[in-house]
Amino acid sequence: MDTLFYPKSIVVVGVSLNPMNLGRFIVSNLIEFGYEGAIYLLGRRPGHLFGHPIRTGVDEIPKDVDLGVFLVPAKAVPDLFEGLAGRGMKRAVVQSGGFRELGDQGKALEARLVAAASRYGVRFVGPNCLGLINKHARMAVPFVPFRDLWRTGGVSVVSQSGGVGVSYLYRLVSENIGLSKFVSIGNKLDLDEVDYLEYLARDQDTDMVVMYLESFSRGRAFFDAIRATDKPVIVHKANRSALSRGIAYSHTAALATDNRIGEAALRQAGALTANDMQDVVALVKALSMPRPKNSKVAIIARSGGHAVMAADAAADAGFELVEYPKSFLDSIENAFENTVISRQNPLDLGDVYDFDIYARVMEEACRIEEAGAVVMIHEYFAALESTQSRRLVNKAEALSRQYGKPVALVMFTDDKEMAQVKQGYDYPIFASIPQAFSALARVRDSGTGQAEALVFPRVRQRFERAGQSGLFDMLADKGLNVPKYALVHTKDEVDGVDIEFPVVVKVLSDKVVHKTEAGAVRMDISDRGTLKAVVHDFIERFAPGMDGGVLIQQQVHGVVEAVIGGIRDPVFGPVITVGLGGVMVELFKDVRFLLAPVTAAEVMDALKSLRSFALFNDFRGRGQADTDAFVDLVVRVAAMFANTPELREFDLNPVIVGQKGRGAHIVDARFSWQA
């Protein structure tokens, strides 16, 4: 990949003297950015462009060129690619469109291109892409004309769309965010997002990675690549609408849209996910400052209205308002005369117009040990307060560096002034109060820095194929906690059942998915006579579809009905679901997805993020649930699912989580196997 991003020689294929020739723009970009390596031009007609001769034959290009950039009709790409590869070309960028996006003919061209690349060991970007930029190497090969407006920095951008990528580039310019590398990846025929992320994770010139993706080529490998890096990774995932999966066998499949699993995988891996470009830029700004040390924030505002808005935004983002020490408030108030200042957090500066006092207040707030972050909301009139306000930017930057905590500036002024301020300073400036608090909170809570090895349980067991009649035997044999049970097929067998009352009776059948709605489950049966009557009724009503018999199960009571589900996603592999179970799983859909296997910490974090997690914690006197037992069960089940590739999907629902110390019991289960 170094050869791709740091080539010492480049051949541009598809150059002509036509003023609108796109290859011409590639060459002009190399010159504009100050590329110092050798540049060779290949076209159909001879001539000179920007002082470089246009050569007309592959054999005229020197051997062992580091990088070939192709922008010719798709049908011409495979032969030209193979010709240059045969002369030692090491890497390539295929910008040409007209491949798989145009049907079978395009796919045939792709096959020829891949065969040539494989034959000569050439890795390539694209096809159907914009190209790449490396500010640190002063190299740029997009086919749209650029002026070199970007500050050299540490943000690298990977974009599946060329157009969206250009939009990101210009947003970085407008915010004066330093660019390291940019790559438009196109159809991902060879190199994909995993390759780029693995490289950028090692790249000493990259501090954080922004990725715009519309699909995942290798979901599990991408997950592993994010988890393996300690650099922040921001993913803007588009194409997020749910795809129909038909009639789902399990609750898990019904809930697991492509989008939910993808977002869950990114979150579990430690990526920061963004919904739009503004969201991405806000996260980049927040990551450019020290991470908040805790969830307590000190807020300073020039306007009472902004102070109220900030308090709301802080609460929405999960921040608490740090209590200002009396000494802090007294020292500030003593410096003011005839002011209207509120002695609380947020601190309303009221009628204070002394910018030196603003700087002092920011510093005093930074000195408060309990404050994990400081947010200053500053509205000003550019015609009168521009110079003083700009000094506040320098002060905020110095304080953030000195105290090792974010000092976030939210500034409101006219558009022209704001643009000039952003262009004049490297320090991030927010233009929205909610955006600032949201970005700070997500950085605070993010999993970046997870490069340390995760310890997974050494569960070597796997699930075994079993029909409905043998399912609970299989679960029990694996050491999973199930209530005492018996299986009968006639009412006369009830007399031989040794079980304690009360009991639950259920029909076991692949044809009866929702037992409650079908009237195929009865609870609170307290005597043998009633038990026989219920069994007889079930046999009479469900005989044609009752392929597993009737299950008599000792009734267990608990604090929470939970669900553990699993689905084998085509992109990410084994995925499990945890959340509120029973019939509530369909009503509230309060579940979380995790890629299996999982650690106990991952499961606990997922549970704590549920809206219903309060039910586990003595909600209204219900008792403290045995959360540890449930977490342990999830970890074991996830590991067994990962070890059983032929298991397509399953539901353990409900799992009755008892009071603390009483465990978690699987009381119903459904398994679906590969044919």
* Segment among 156-170, 242-256, 273-287, 631-645 with least mean pLDDT: 242-256
Residues 308 and 439 in one domain: yes
Number of domains composing the chain: 4
Q: pLDDT at residue 586 above 80?
A: no
- Residue 504 forms part of a structural domain: yes
Residue 468 lies in a domain: no
Residue for token digits 């009755």? 656
Q: Are 409 and 393 in contact (CB under 8 A)?
A: yes
Q: Work out the average pLDDT over 215-220.
A: 90
| pLDDT, mean over the chain | 90
* CATH code, domain carrying 660: 3.30.470.20
Residue 373 placed within a domain: yes
d(CA 126, CA 191) in angstroms, rounded, equals 8
State the DSSP H helix or E strand holding residue 533, giving kind and residue range, or none if neither.
helix 528-542
Three-state SS at 262: helix
Say if residues 142 and 130 touch (Cβ distance below 8 Å): yes
Q: Rounded mean pLDDT of 389-395?
A: 95
Of 43-52, 95-104, 137-146, the poorest mean pLDDT is in: 95-104
Per this entry, what is the length of the chain? 675
Are both 209 and 75 inside the same structural domain? yes
The identity of residue 142, as a single letter, is P
Is pLDDT of 452 > 60?
Answer: no
pLDDT tens-place string over residues 528-565: 999 999 999 998 888 766 777 899 999 999 999 999 99
Whether 287 is in a domain gets the answer no
CATH number assigned to the domain comprising residue 102: 3.40.50.261
pLDDT at 449: 42
CA-derived radius of gyration, the chain = 31
CA 263/CA 289 separation, integer angstroms: 25
Whether pLDDT at 451 is above 70: no
21 shares its domain with 163: yes
- Residue-wise pLDDT for 247-268, tens only, equals 334 444 445 445 788 899 999 9
The residue assigned the tokens 């096809």 is 127
* Residue 303 amino acid letter: S
Encoding tokens for residue 671? 């398994």
Query: Which residues span the domain enclosing 542?
Result: 484-554
Residue 94 to residue 68: CA distance in whole angstroms: 8
Containing H/E element for 118? helix 104-120
C-alpha span between 368 and 379 (Å, rounded): 24
Q: Is omega for the bond preceding 346 within 30 degrees of 0, making it cis?
A: yes
Q: Taking the chain, what is the end-to-end CA distance rounded to the nearest angstrom?
A: 42
My answer on whether 575 and 498 are in the same domain is no
Q: What would the mean pLDDT of 470-488 be, rounded to a whole number?
A: 93
Is 102 domain-assigned?
Answer: yes
For 320-329, 388-397, 473-482, 658-667, which range has the lowest pLDDT when averaged over its residues? 320-329
Tell whether 93 and 193 lie within a shared domain: yes
- Render 137-150 in DSSP notation, one character per residue: GTEE--SS-----P
Instruction: Report the CATH number that the domain containing residue 533 is assigned in CATH.
Output: 3.30.1490.20
Confidence class of residue 123 from pLDDT cuts 50, 70 and 90?
very high
State how far the Cα of 447 lies from the Cα of 79, in Å rounded to an integer: 46
pLDDT at 80 over 80: yes
Same domain for 231 and 90? Answer: yes
Same domain? 502 vs 405: no
Q: What is the pLDDT of residue 253?
A: 46
User: Peptide bond preceding 597: is omega within 30 degrees of 0, i.e. cis?
Assistant: yes
Q: Which two tokens stand for residue 421?
A: 């301020």
* pLDDT winner (highest mean) among 396-400, 494-498, 610-614: 396-400
Is residue 245 situated within a structural domain?
A: no
pLDDT of residue 453: 54
Secondary structure E strands in 206-264: 208-213, 233-237
Between 463 and 349, the more confident residue is 463
pTM to 2 decimal places = 0.89
Q: Are residues 439 and 524 in the same domain?
A: no
In the chain, the percentage of residues whose pLDDT exceeds 70 is 93
pLDDT of residue 484: 94
Given a cut of 80, whether residue 457 has pLDDT beyond it is: no
Residues 370 and 508 in one domain: no
Instruction: In whole angstroms, give the CA distance from residue 606 to residue 613.
Output: 10
Contact 139, 7 (CB under 8 A): yes
Give 479-521 as a DSSP string. T-----EEEESSGGGGGG---PSSEEEEEE-TT-S-HHHHT-E
pLDDT given at position 357: 87
DSSP H or E segment with residue 391:
helix 382-403
Residue 419 has pLDDT above 90, yes or no: yes
What are the tens digits of pLDDT across the range 285-331? 999 999 999 999 999 999 999 999 999 999 999 999 999 988 888 87
**Domain for residue 92, yes or no?**
yes
Q: What integer is the mean pLDDT of 332-359? A: 76
**End of a domain among 422, 445, 468?**
445
pLDDT exceeds 60 at position 243: no
Last residue of a domain, one of 531, 554, 577: 554
Give backbone dihedrals phi and psi of 568, rounded to 5 degrees, phi first: -100, 100
| Residue finishing a domain among 521, 554, 587 | 554
With respect to residue 104, please indicate whether it lies within any of the assigned structural domains.
Answer: yes
Q: Are residues 538 and 565 in the same domain?
A: no
Closest CA to 63 of 45, 38, 44, 43: 38
Q: Both 380 and 233 in a single domain?
A: no
Q: Are residues 517 and 433 in the same domain?
A: no
How much of the chain, in percent, has pLDDT values that exceed 90?
A: 75
Which pLDDT value is given to residue 460? 83
Across 347-371, average pLDDT: 89
* Phi, psi of 320, rounded to the nearest 5 degrees: -110, 150
Neighbours of 516 (CB within 10 A): 11
